[in-house]
């Protein structure tokens, strides 16, 4: 069965199916139809990252929504978690983000939040797919309103102020960042306005890099996937912490005062430890994915914290957080969810919580990160032409079994397809860098031979 939605919305190369103007109009109409129901009026919040294609897709989406009688509140360039917040703030029926997150500029995507600020349910996604993919245009067109009932588009010029105020309210009032040196890498993406404003408003000395978007430099050698420039800048300015956001701002990778990269797992551990000491870690439970490092599980166990491992993807993390009544969870990529504050991952919010831990513990970030021993991990992304069942690729399966036998209980192997790109991710974790690199390359080579 053909699908539009992947693990994080609809995504692809711009001007190629499904990321085309024609499809954006159809998606806008389907969303407006689905959320309007029997009501007279519906409203939607729309934001985008800095990709040049965002303007084209925004106009098309808005045209589709307004043609169905829906009103649109435009945020312009805005972080994804900010769109989730503004959706609730404006009592909108849904929020729509035009972004391909950490992907290169040529890609773009559309992801949707429900009115409560949570990502759209699988059921709603399937309903949108059904309307678009199963030749049901006539159902939507039969509901087109009279000209006097068409929707309108409005710009929310105070949206950044509302969002940054929301973020600042999550930081303890008794703590101060005055004089603290902070470096921000905004990935030439959606956080380039909001992130510096938040930390400057707290009195920090903020140095910003990669904050001059031109439509095509988003995520290009910068941001959460490429923290090298950030590490150099932190050392250069003698900063206490550096933060590298991804293109849409829902994830953040930190750098300590020595220029060392802090993983999402380490950030999760630091924040969880602080919450537990304060008696605020609900049910003493933390949710991560199966990709989390061995070292995190060991450290959490030593702290007396239950560790739940979900499938890869923030949707699955959130599901298990709600099921287990946990207030904190996330991915090693730096996509962390603090349910006491927000409905989705927020890179700026994570930065505030890390600084809060540093100030409360009166320790540098490097010392806090040392609570976790990171086990050697190798990850190779293999471009693939198709995504067959891994178990049906005999040579790949053989390489996996060989690695698992050799590593035993001192390591693990995880081979999975990306939900947003034509990639197969091969991850091996083990006792030494040599072992992980060797087995990871061996498996990746077999994947490439079979389907690369």
Give the gyration radius of the chain's Cα atoms: 22
Q: How far apart are the C-alpha atoms of 120 and 318, rounded to whole Å? A: 12
Evaluate if residue 391 carries a pLDDT over 60.
yes
Question: With 90 as the cut, is the pLDDT of residue 194 above it?
Answer: yes
User: Do residue 179 and residue 38 come from a single domain?
Assistant: no
Determine, yes or no, domain membership for 95: yes
Q: Which of 199, 186, 212, 359 is nearest to 271 (CA)?
A: 359
Q: Which residues contact 75 (CB under 8 A, 6 or more apart)?
A: 45, 46, 47, 48, 82, 83, 86, 156, 159
DSSP 6: B
pLDDT tens-digit map of 37-76: 777 789 999 999 999 999 999 999 999 999 999 999 999 9
* CATH number, position 104: 3.40.120.10
Active site residues: 101
Q: Which of 273, 232, 231, 235 is nearest to 254 (CA)?
A: 231
Does residue 385 share a domain with residue 408? yes
* Total domain count, the chain: 3
- Domain-terminating residue out of 98, 126, 157: 157
Give tens-digit pLDDT for 206-252.
999 999 999 999 999 999 999 999 999 999 999 999 999 999 999 99
Mean per-residue pLDDT for 344-348? 98
* Total-model pTM: 0.90
Identify whether residues 350 and 409 lie together within a single domain: no
- Both 291 and 404 in one domain: the answer is no
Q: Which domain holds residue 43?
A: 10-157
Per mean pLDDT, which range of 98-102, 214-218, 308-312 is the poorest?
Answer: 308-312
Give the Cα separation of 260 and 263 in Å (integer). Answer: 10
Whole-number percent of the chain with pLDDT over 70: 99
Tell me the per-residue pLDDT of 108-133, one tens digit each, with 9 for 90 and over. 999 999 999 999 999 999 999 999 99
Q: Is the pLDDT of residue 1 over 70?
A: no
pLDDT the model gives residue 137: 87
Residue 350: how many other CB atoms lie within 10 Å: 28
Q: Same structural domain for residues 435 and 288?
A: no
The candidate with the shortest Cα–Cα distance to 33, out of 64, 56, 10, is 64
As a whole number, mean pLDDT of residues 275-298 equals 94
Task: Tell whether 5 is covered by a domain.
Answer: no
Q: Chain-wide mean pLDDT for the chain?
A: 95
Is 282 a domain residue? yes
Whether residue 257 sits in one domain with residue 176: yes
Buried b (16+ CB within 10 A) or exposed e, 161-173: eebbebbbebbee
pLDDT at 208: 98
**Cis, bond preceding 230 (omega within 30 deg of 0):** no
Same domain? 355 vs 399 = no
Full DSSP string of 182-232: EEEE-TTSTTTTHHHHHHHHTT-EEEEES----SS-TTSS-GGG-THHHHH
């Amino acid at each position: 069965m053909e699908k539009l939605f992947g693990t994080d919305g609809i995504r692809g190369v711009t001007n190629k199916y499904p990321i085309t103007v024609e499809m954006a109009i159809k998606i806008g109409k389907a969303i407006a139809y689905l959320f309007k129901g029997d009501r007279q009026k519906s409203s939607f919040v729309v934001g985008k990252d800095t990709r040049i294609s965002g303007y084209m897709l925004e106009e098309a989406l808005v045209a589709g929504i307004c043609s169905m009688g829906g009103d649109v509140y435009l945020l312009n360039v805005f972080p994804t978690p900010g769109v989730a917040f503004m959706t609730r703030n404006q009592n909108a029926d849904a929020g729509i983000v035009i972004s391909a997150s950490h992907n290169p500029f040529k890609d773009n995507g559309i992801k949707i939040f429900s009115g409560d600020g949570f990502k759209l349910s699988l059921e709603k996604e399937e309903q949108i797919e059904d309307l678009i993919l199963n030749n049901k245009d006539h159902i939507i067109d039969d509901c087109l309103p009279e000209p006097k009932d068409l929707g309108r588009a409005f710009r929310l010029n105070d949206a950044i102020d509302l969002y940054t105020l929301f973020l600042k309210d999550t930081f303890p009032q008794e703590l101060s960042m005055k004089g603290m040196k902070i470096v921000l890498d905004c990935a030439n993406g959606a956080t380039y306005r909001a992130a510096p404003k938040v930390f400057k408003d707290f009195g920090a000395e903020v140095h910003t890099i990669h904050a001059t978007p031109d439509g095509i430099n988003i995520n290009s050698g910068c941001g959460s996937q490429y923290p090298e420039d950030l590490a150099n800048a932190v050392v250069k300015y003698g900063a206490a912490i550096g933060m590298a956001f991804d293109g849409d701002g829902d994830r953040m990778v930190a750098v300590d005062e020595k220029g060392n990269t802090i993983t999402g797992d380490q950030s999760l551990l630091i924040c969880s430890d602080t919450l537990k000491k304060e008696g605020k870690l609900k049910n003493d439970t933390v949710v991560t994915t199966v990709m989390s490092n061995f070292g995190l599980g060991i450290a959490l166990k030593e702290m007396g914290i239950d560790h739940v491992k979900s499938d890869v993807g923030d949707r699955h993390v959130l599901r298990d957080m709600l099921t287990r009544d946990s207030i904190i969870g996330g991915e090693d990529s730096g996509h962390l969810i603090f349910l006491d504050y927000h409905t989705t991952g927020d890179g700026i919010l994570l930065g505030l919580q890390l600084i809060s831990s540093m100030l409360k513990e009166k320790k540098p970030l490097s010392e806090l990160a040392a609570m976790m021993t990171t086990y050697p991990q190798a990850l190779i992304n293999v471009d693939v032409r198709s995504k067959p069942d891994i178990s049906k690729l005999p040579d790949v399966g053989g390489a996996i079994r060989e690695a698992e036998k050799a590593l035993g209980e001192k390591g693990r192997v995880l081979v999975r397809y990306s939900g947003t790109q034509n990639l197969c991710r091969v991850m091996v974790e083990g006792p030494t860098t040599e072992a992980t690199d060797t087995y990871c390359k061996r498996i990746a080579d077999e994947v490439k031979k079979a389907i690369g």
